[in-house]
C-alpha cells in the first residue's frame, strides 16, 4: 500500500518527506497545473473560432472558464499521473488558502483519481503538524474553490476587456487590472497632490537651556499668548495660513527681532506636567504587516519579502505566510511565553496570555498569524540561517515573542518656560519600564539603541525655576508636500481600504513597476506619464473600476461567495453583462473616447501638452513655425517636469541645441542636449555624411548648466585608453557606463575585467597606475561595499578541491565553499576557526537546505528540477545503504562528499520552487 501526497514545490515536498513513513510518496505540482489561456497558441483548436475564446471565459454559457494545461506543465502532469498509477490513496496537501484549495481542485479535475482522496491542510511544516494533519484530513471545500474561481474569472474579464481599449486609445501593450488600476490611481492622486502643493514658510526660535548641568531644548510656541504658526497651520493648496486660524506667522525679520528683544532676559518655568503612558505590543505579523515592516526595516520589496517568507515556510522555519489573521494558537502562545521567561525574565512577561483577534470580516486565509514554526521557538541563532533569511526570521521571531511581553511604561513630561512675552515648550520622555520594547521596536533594527533614542531626559525642574539660556537661534522652515507612497505605505493603504487580498499585494506592486506605471526610486513609488494617462481615462469613463469603495465591496462579495452568503453566477452576470455591466460600458464608451485626448496628460503650470507616444512621453506645443514636438527623457517623471525644463526641451527642438563652443582640435561645434536617456554632449552636427555624431552622457548628478567646454571635450574622449596591462599587454580603458564610471582590462576573447571608479578618483583624470591598483583589488559583491578579501584562508575542500575561506559579511563572518555560505557562531573566533570546523558547518548548512543558488541553477528549468528531485531520492537511498556498511569515519566522508555532489541539484530545486511561487501569485 502506498500513498501519493501532492504539494506545490520541491522544497516543500522535501521537507514533508522527512516527516512521513516510507510508504508515502511526496511529489510537487510546481504551482498551478491549469489556468485560463495566456496566449492564442494555448487555445484549443476546437474553440479557436469562438468569439469568446481569446477571453478564455464563455460569457454566453454561464461564464464557463476555458482551462488549459500550459505547455511547460504537461510533463509535470504526466509524471503525477504516472505516480498515481502506483498509489492506493491520494492526499492533496496544497496550501490552505483559497488559491491552494483551487490548486487541489484543479489537480482533481486533471488526474481523475480512482483511489480514495483526502485533503490535508496545515499552517506549518513540522513533524508534529504534518502527523496531526494526516489524522484530520477533510474534503475539498467547493465554496472556497468557487470564490477563488470567481475571482480569477473576474480579473480576466476586467483585464481582457479594458486592456484592448487602452491599446487603441493610448498605447499598445498597456494593461488594466482590477486591483492594479486602483493602486495606480492612488499613486497618481498622491502625485497630483504634490504638484498642486504650494510651499509655505515660517520662522520660530529654538533655545538650549541648562539646569544643574543638564541641557535641554525648548521651542517657541506663543508670543503674547498667541500661538506661533507651524507647518500644520498651512493650506497645502495655497501655501498660506488656513482661513480662520488665529496664529502668529513670523517671518525672518520678525523672528530675529524677537530674538534680540529676549536675548539675555531671564527664563522662568511656568508649568510642568507629567503624564504616564502605557504602550501595548503590536500583534503578530499578518502578510500585510510583514511586508510593511520588512520594507521599513530591511528595505525589502513586497515580492522579495514573500519570496523569502515562502522559502522559510517550506523549509519549516515559520508558519504559513499568506494570512490576514493575528490569532496565535495556545501552543504558539506557550512557546512565546517560554522564550520571554528564559531570555528576559518573568518581569517582562505579560501577566496573562495575550490573545489577538482579527477585526476584518474577511480574515480567513489561514488559522494563525505568521510566527516561528513548532511548539518551541528556535532563536534566530539556533536556526543556522544567515543573510537576509536570518534577518527576516529574526523579525518574525521578535514580533511574535514581543506580543506576549509586558506593557511598556513611560512618563511624558511637558515643561513650559517664559521669557518676557515669549512662551517656550520642552518635551521629555522617560522609559520607566521597557517591557516589550526590550525585544522589539517597530521600525527599528536594534531595540536597545531604539530605547536610548526614545528617551529624552529633562532635568529635575519645578515651577519658578530659572534655567540658564546657553544658546538661542532663529530657524526658518518650509512646509513639505505629501510624502509619496513607499511599498510599505501603499500596502497599508490598500489594506485599510479593503482593496485586494494581502497575498496579492506583492504581485500588484511588482506589476505596476514592471508595466511602467511607476518607478521605484529611493524606496518611493513614483507614477509615470503613462500612469497619469491611463488613470485619467479610467476615472473619466469607468469611475467605479478605480474607486476604492467599489473595489472593496467587490472583495466583500467574493468573501461572501466563499462562505455561501452570495451566489457567484448572478454576481458575474450583473458585473459583466447587465445593463450597467462592464461589457456594455466598454461598447458605449469606446466611441466617445477621443484617442488624442486620452494620450494627453494635463499638468498644472505646464503650458505645453504632454502626450503618450509609441516611444514614450513627449511635449507638444504650438509655435509661430507650427506644431513642435520634443521627447521627454525617460528618467523624468511628472513630478520633476517644470516650466524651465519644458522651455529648454522645446527650445532645443526649435532653435537647435545649446552650443558650448568649438572643439580645440577639430573645430567642430560641441552641443549640450537632453535626449530620451538624459543630458549628453555631442560633437558636430547631424548631416548626411555624419548621421551619428560622437556623443557622451553626462556623469550622474551633473547638471547640464554646469558643463563647461573643457569638460565636454574630456567627456568626448571617452573611452580613454590609459595604456596596456603589464601582465597581459591588453588595453586598459576608463569610461562611463550604465552604473557609473569604471576602468576595464579588455583581454578580447579572454574577457573583460571591470572595476568601478569611486571619488576622489575621476574618470576624466584617472591614470594607468591608479587603474592598475583598482584592477588588482578583488571585485566587490554587487550591492555590497565590502570587497571579497578573505579574513582567513582555510585550505582546499577534501572532496571538491575548491578553496574554503572565511569572509566578512554584512551580518558578520561567514565561511564559503562554492555556492554554500554558512555564518560563524557569534562566539566563534575567526583566528581559531579551523578547516574541520568549516567542513562540519558547511555540511550542517547543506543538510538544512541552506545553499545559495548559483548562476547555473538559476537558469535550470522546472523539468531539470524535477529530475534532480528524483535523482536526489535515489542518491539518498544509496547513501542510507552506505551508512549501514561503512565505518563511522567513512560515514563522515560520504556525507561530506554527498554534500559537495548534490549542492547544484539542491539549488536547482530551489530555483524551481521560486519559479513555482512566481507562477502562484494572486
Bridge partners, residue 57, by sequence: 65
Per DSSP, the three-state class of 77 is helix
The span from the CA of 13 to the CA of 25, in Å, is 9
Helix or strand run (H / E) with residue 25: strand 24-28
Dihedrals φ, ψ of 795, to 5°? 125, -175
Q: Which amino acids are annotated catalytic?
A: 320
* Residue 55 φ/ψ region, left for φ over 0, alpha for ψ in the -120 to 50 degree band, beta for the rest: alpha
Q: Which of 922, 918, 698 is nearest to 30 (CA)?
A: 918
Q: Which three-class secondary structure string do you get for 378-415?
A: CCHHHCCCCHHHHHHHHHHHHHHHHCCECCEEEEEEEE
Q: Provide the 10 A C-beta neighbour count for residue 372.
A: 24
Q: Which of 116, 289, 31, 273 is nearest to 862 (CA)?
A: 31
DSSP letter for each residue of 613-671? ETTEEEEEEEETTEEEEEEPPTT--TTT--HHHHHHHHHHHHT-PEEEEE-TTT--EEE
Strands 731-737 and 740-746: antiparallel
What order do you get walking across the sheet with 812-817 strand by strand?
A: 792-796, 803-809, 812-817, 820-823
Bridge partners, residue 805, by sequence: 793, 816
Contacts 24+ apart (CB under 8 A), 221-224: 221/423, 221/424, 221/425, 222/422, 222/423, 223/248, 223/250, 223/258, 223/421, 223/422, 223/423, 224/248, 224/421
CA-CA-CA-CA torsion sign (236, 238, 240, 244): negative
The length of the chain, given as a count of residues: 922
Does the N-terminal peptide bond of residue 760 adopt cis geometry, omega within 30 degrees of 0?
A: yes
**Contact call for residues 107 and 93 (beta carbons, < 8 A):** no
DSSP label at 54?
A: T
The span from the CA of 101 to the CA of 120, in Å, is 10
DSSP label at 686?
A: -
The span from the CA of 480 to the CA of 477, in Å, is 9
Residue in the block written with cell 479593503: 498
The span from the CA of 553 to the CA of 410, in Å, is 41
The span from the CA of 536 to the CA of 726, in Å, is 61
Does the N-terminal peptide bond of residue 719 adopt cis geometry, omega within 30 degrees of 0?
A: yes
The span from the CA of 497 to the CA of 4, in Å, is 42
Strands 812-817 and 268-279: unpaired
Residue in the block written with cell 520594547: 437
**Contact call for residues 412 and 274 (beta carbons, < 8 A):** yes
CA 7 and chain centroid, separation: 27
Tell me the HSE value of 207 on the side-chain side, using a 13 A CA sphere: 29
Tell me the HSE value of 616 on the side-chain side, using a 13 A CA sphere: 14
What is the rounded radius of gyration, in angstroms, for the C-alpha atoms of the chain? 33
**Contact call for residues 495 and 487 (beta carbons, < 8 A):** no
Amino acid at each position: 500500500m502506498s500513498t501519493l501526497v501532492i504539494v506545490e514545490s520541491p522544497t516543500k515536498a522535501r521537507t514533508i518527506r522527512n516527516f512521513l513513513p516510507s510508504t508515502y510518496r511526496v511529489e510537487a505540482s510546481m504551482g498551478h497545473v491549469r489556468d485560463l489561456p495566456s496566449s492564442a497558441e494555448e487555445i484549443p483548436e476546437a474553440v479557436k473560432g469562438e468569439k469568446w475564446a481569446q477571453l478564455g471565459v464563455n460569457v454566453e454559457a454561464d461564464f464557463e472558464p476555458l482551462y488549459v494545461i500550459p505547455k511547460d506543465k504537461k510533463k509535470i502532469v504526466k509524471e503525477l499521473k504516472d505516480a498515481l498509477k502506483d498509489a492506493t490513496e491520494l492526499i492533496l496537501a496544497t496550501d490552505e488558502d483559497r488559491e491552494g484549495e483551487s490548486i487541489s481542485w484543479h489537480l482533481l479535475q486533471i488526474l481523475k483519481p480512482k483511489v480514495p482522496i483526502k485533503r490535508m491542510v496545515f499552517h506549518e511544516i513540522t513533524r508534529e503538524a504534518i502527523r496531526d494533519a494526516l489524522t484530520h484530513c477533510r474534503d475539498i471545500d467547493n465554496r472556497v474553490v468557487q470564490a477563488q474561481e470567481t475571482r480569477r474569472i473576474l480579473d480576466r474579464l476586467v483585464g481582457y476587456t479594458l486592456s484592448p481599449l487602452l491599446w487603441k486609445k493610448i498605447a499598445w501593450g498597456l494593461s488594466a487590472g482590477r486591483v492594479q488600476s486602483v493602486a495606480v490611481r492612488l499613486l497618481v492622486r498622491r502625485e497630483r497632490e504634490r504638484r498642486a502643493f504650494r510651499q509655505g514658510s515660517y520662522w520660530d526660535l529654538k533655545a538650549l537651556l541648562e539646569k544643574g548641568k543638564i541641557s535641554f531644548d525648548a521651542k517657541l510656541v506663543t508670543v503674547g499668548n498667541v500661538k506661533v504658526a507651524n507647518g500644520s497651520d498651512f493650506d497645502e493648496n495655497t501655501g498660506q495660513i488656513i482661513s480662520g486660524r488665529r496664529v502668529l506667522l513670523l517671518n525672518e525679520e520678525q523672528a530675529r527681532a524677537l530674538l534680540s528683544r529676549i536675548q539675555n532676559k531671564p527664563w522662568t518655568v511656568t508649568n510642568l506636567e507629567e503624564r504616564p503612558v502605557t504602550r501595548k505590543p503590536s500583534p503578530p505579523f499578518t502578510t500585510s504587516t510583514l511586508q510593511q515592516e520588512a520594507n521599513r526595516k530591511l528595505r525589502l520589496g513586497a515580492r522579495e519579502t514573500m519570496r523569502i517568507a515562502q522559502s522559510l515556510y517550506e523549509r519549516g522555519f515559520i508558519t504559513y505566510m499568506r494570512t490576514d489573521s493575528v490569532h496565535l494558537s495556545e501552543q504558539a502562545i506557550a512557546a512565546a511565553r517560554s522564550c520571554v521567561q528564559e531570555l528576559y525574565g518573568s518581569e517582562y512577561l505579560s501577566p496573562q496570555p495575550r490573545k489577538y483577534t482579527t477585526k476584518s470580516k474577511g480574515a480567513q486565509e489561514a488559522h494563525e498569524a505568521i510566527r516561528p514554526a513548532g511548539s518551541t521557538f528556535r532563536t534566530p541563532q539556533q536556526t543556522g540561517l544567515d543573510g537576509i533569511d536570518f534577518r527576516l526570521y529574526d523579525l518574525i521571531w521578535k514580533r511574535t515573542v514581543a506580543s506576549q511581553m509586558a506593557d511598556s511604561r513611560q512618563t511624558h513630561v511637558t515643561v513650559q518656560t517664559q521669557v518676557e512675552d515669549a512662551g517656550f515648550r520642552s518635551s521629555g520622555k522617560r522609559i520607566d519600564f521597557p517591557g516589550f520594547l526590550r525585544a522589539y521596536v517597530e521600525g527599528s533594527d536594534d531595540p536597545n539603541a531604539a530605547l536610548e533614542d526614545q528617551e529624552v531626559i529633562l532635568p529635575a525642574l519645578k515651577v519658578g525655576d530659572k534655567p540658564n539660556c546657553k544658546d538661542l537661534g532663529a530657524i526658518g522652515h518650509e512646509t513639505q508636500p505629501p510624502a509619496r507612497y513607499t511599498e510599505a505605505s501603499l500596502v497599508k493603504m490598500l489594506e485599510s481600504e479593503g482593496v485586494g487580498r494581502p497575498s496579492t499585494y506583492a504581485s500588484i506592486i511588482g506589476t505596476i513597476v514592471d508595466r511602467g506605471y511607476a518607478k521605484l526610486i529611493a524606496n518611493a513609488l513614483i507614477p509615470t506619464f503613462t500612469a497619469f494617462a491611463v488613470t485619467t481615462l479610467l476615472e473619466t469613463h469607468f469611475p467605479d473600476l478605480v474607486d476604492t469603495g467599489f473595489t472593496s465591496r467587490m472583495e466583500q462579495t467574493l468573501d461572501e461567495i466563499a462562505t455561501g452568503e452570495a451566489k457567484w453566477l448572478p454576481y458575474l452576470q450583473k458585473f459583466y453583462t447587465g445593463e450597467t455591466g462592464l461589457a456594455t460600458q466598454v461598447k458605449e464608451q469606446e466611441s466617445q473616447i477621443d484617442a488624442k485626448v486620452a494620450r494627453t496628460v494635463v499638468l498644472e503650470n505646464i503650458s505645453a501638452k504632454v502626450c503618450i507616444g509609441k516611444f514614450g512621453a513627449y511635449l507638444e506645443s504650438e509655435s509661430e513655425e507650427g506644431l513642435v514636438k520634443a521627447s521627454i527623457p525617460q528618467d523624468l517623471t511628472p513630478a520633476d517636469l517644470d516650466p524651465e525644463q519644458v522651455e529648454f526641451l522645446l527650445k532645443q527642438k526649435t532653435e537647435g541645441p545649446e552650443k558650448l563652443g568649438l572643439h580645440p582640435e577639430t573645430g567642430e561645434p560641441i552641443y549640450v542636449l537632453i535626449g530620451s536617456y538624459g543630458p549628453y554632449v555631442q560633437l558636430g552636427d547631424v548631416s548626411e555624411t555624419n548621421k551619428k555624431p560622437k556623443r557622451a552622457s553626462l556623469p550622474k548628478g551633473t547638471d547640464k548648466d554646469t558643463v563647461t567646454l573643457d569638460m565636454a571635450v574630456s567627456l568626448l574622449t571617452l573611452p580613454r585608453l590609459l595604456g596596456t596591462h603589464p601582465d597581459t599587454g591588453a588595453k586598459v580603458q576608463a569610461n562611463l557606463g550604465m552604473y557609473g564610471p569604471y576602468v576595464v582590462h579588455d583581454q578580447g576573447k579572454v574577457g573583460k575585467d571591470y572595476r568601478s571608479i569611486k571619488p576622489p578618483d575621476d574618470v576624466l583624470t584617472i591614470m594607468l597606475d591608479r587603474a592598475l591598483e583598482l584592477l588588482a583589488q578583488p571585485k566587490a559583491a554587487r550591492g555590497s561595499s565590502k570587497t571579497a578579501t578573505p579574513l582567513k584562508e582555510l585550505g582546499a575542500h577534501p572532496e571538491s578541491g575548491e578553496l574554503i575561506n572565511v569572509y566578512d559579511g554584512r551580518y558578520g563572518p561567514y565561511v564559503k565553499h562554492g555556492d554554500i555560505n554558512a555564518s560563524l557562531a557569534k562566539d566563534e573566533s575567526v583566528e581559531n576557526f579551523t578547516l574541520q570546523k568549516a567542513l562540519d558547518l558547511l555540511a550542517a548548512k547543506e543538510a538544512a537546505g541552506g545553499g545559495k543558488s548559483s548562476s547555473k541553477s538559476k537558469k535550470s528549468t522546472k523539468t531539470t528540477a524535477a529530475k534532480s528531485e528524483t535523482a536526489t531520492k535515489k542518491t539518498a537511498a544509496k547513501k542510507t545503504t552506505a551508512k549501514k556498511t561503512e565505518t563511522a569515519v567513512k560515514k563522515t566522508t560520504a556525507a561530506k562528499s554527498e554534500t559537495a555532489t548534490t549542492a547544484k541539484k539542491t539549488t536547482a530545486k530551489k530555483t524551481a520552487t521560486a519559479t513555482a511561487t512566481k507562477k502562484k501569485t494572486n
